[in-house]
């Protein structure tokens, strides 16, 4: 799905357009359902990826989170009389409200399921990676606020600059950094390994555990939402993806695809490349992992 949104100011000047593309496929082992959910509200500058966890309840959590956050963002627009893309708001409080509202509703859904299903209940939870865009008239750039919990990621590709991962996973490698077992540089090297010969035995054990997450929407504990913001310039591309993508593809591969693929096809190409990787054996490719796979790419084109 491809939609291009071009925004004009009150003076009639045309801002650079944002093109939103999305692509998602379920795990090949359960093609009848997908624990990933993509949320797009292009007219209000919202994009998000959710990756449900918790067995059969994962899809429940990811869809509920998407619905709650869409409703919360729509309500914020209506109450504040926000003009999409063009209001230079500090959106941190809004993001916190959106995440906490979804978190609380997923916990309530888990309690409801536990009461009705008793010992057979599976508690729903989901990761979340979300971006909001507003247009800055003074600098002629979009300003992007972003937030996440879990291990769904947000990346920024910018021409002639290093590829940036804007989020740090709430995961096992982060725990090993905190306890002093490894450095951030070690964690990145382990996470990006593509051949077992690149790691020693202990590092390989860390690699194998890297998918464990330490928090998610719906986990029964206080939520720590990670929030940041950055200016988005013409030519930039922003990628949001579930771990099915970045488990199978290195940052180097993702950067290459973002650089070379057409803006209308890039999300589909990323997912297809991840699927191809997942179908290899572990002996052929240590990153190979079957999973639900989802990608959203937002491209900021030049104004015309």
pLDDT by residue (tens digit) across 180-237?
999 999 999 999 999 999 999 999 999 999 999 999 999 988 899 999 999 999 999 9
The pLDDT of residue 76 is 85
In the structure, what pLDDT confidence band is assigned to residue 123 with cuts at 50, 70 and 90? confident
Q: How far is Cα 138 from Cα 87, in angstroms, rounded to an integer?
A: 12
Looking at the chain, which runs of residues are DSSP E strands?
A: 2-5, 18-25, 36-41, 46-53, 125-136, 141-149, 153-157, 164-165, 226-232, 237-241, 293-300
Dist CA 233 CA 109 (whole Å): 40
pLDDT value at residue 116: 80
Reference 87, options 150, 143, 148; nearest CA is 143
Mean pLDDT of 122-126: 89
Q: What is the mean pLDDT of residues 244-266?
A: 97
Angle at 186 between CA 162 and CA 290, to 5 degrees: 80
Choice among 26-35, 40-49, 290-299 with the minimum mean pLDDT = 26-35
Q: Residue 203: its pLDDT value, please? A: 97
Q: Is the pLDDT of residue 176 over 50?
A: yes
* Residues 255, 156: Cα–Cα separation, whole Å: 9
pLDDT at residue 158 tops 90: yes
pTM value?
Answer: 0.92
Nearest 10 degrees: CA dihedral of 227, 167, 134, 293?
-120
CA distance 132 to 113: 32
| Beta-bridge partners for 53 | 125
Residues 6 or more apart whose Cβ sits within 8 Å of residue 185: none
Longest dimension (CA), the chain: 62
Residue ranges per structural domain of the chain: 2-171+212-300, 172-211
* Coil, helix or strand at residue 180: coil
Burial of 34 (0-12, 13-18, 19+ CB in 10 A): buried
Task: Give 223-251 as a DSSP string.
Answer: ---EEEEEEE-TT-EEEEE-HHHHHHS-H
Percent of the chain with pLDDT over 70: 89
Quickly tell me which residue has 């057409």 as its tokens: 262
Topology of domain 2-171+212-300, CATH = Phosphatase 2c; domain 1 (3.60.40)
For 110-167, give the DSSP string.
HHHHHHHHGGG----EEEEEEEEEEEETTTTEEEEEEEEETT-EEEEE-TTS--EE--
β-sheet with 153-157: strand ranges across: 2-5, 18-25, 293-300, 237-241, 153-157, 164-165
């Amino acid at each position: 799905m491809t939609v291009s949104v071009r925004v004009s100011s009150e003076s009639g000047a045309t801002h650079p357009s944002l093109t939103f593309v999305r692509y998602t496929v379920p795990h090949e082992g359960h093609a009848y359902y997908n624990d990933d959910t993509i949320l797009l509200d292009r007219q209000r500058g919202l994009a998000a990826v959710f990756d449900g966890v918790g067995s059969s309840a994962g899809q429940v959590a990811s869809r509920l989170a998407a619905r709650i956050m869409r409703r919360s963002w729509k309500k914020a627009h209506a109450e504040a009389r926000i003009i999409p893309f063009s209001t230079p708001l500090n959106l941190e409080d809004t993001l916190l409200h959106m995440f906490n509202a979804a978190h609380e509703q997923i916990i309530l859904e888990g309690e409801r399921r536990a009461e009705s299903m008793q010992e057979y209940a599976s508690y729903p939870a989901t990761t979340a990676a979300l971006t909001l865009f507003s247009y800055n008239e003074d600098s002629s750039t979009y300003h992007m606020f972003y937030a996440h919990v879990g291990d769904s990621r947000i990346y920024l590709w910018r021409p002639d600059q290093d590829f940036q991962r804007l989020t740090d996973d709430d995961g096992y490698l982060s725990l090993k950094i905190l306890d002093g077992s490894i450095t951030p540089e070690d964690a990145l090297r382990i996470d990006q390994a593509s051949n077992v010969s690149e790691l020693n035995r202990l590092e390989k054990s860390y690699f194998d555990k890297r998918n464990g997450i330490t928090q998610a929407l719906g986990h029964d504990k206080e939520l720590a939402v990670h929030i940041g913001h950055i200016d988005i310039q013409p030519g930039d591309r922003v990628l949001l993806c579930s771990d099915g993508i970045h488990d199978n593809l290195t940052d180097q591969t993702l950067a290459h695809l973002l650089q070379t693929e057409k803006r209308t096809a890039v999300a589909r190409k990323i997912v297809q490349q991840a699927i191809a990787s997942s179908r290899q054996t572990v002996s052929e490719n240590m990153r190979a992992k079957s999973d639900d796979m989802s990608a959203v790419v937002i491209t900021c084109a030049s104004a015309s």
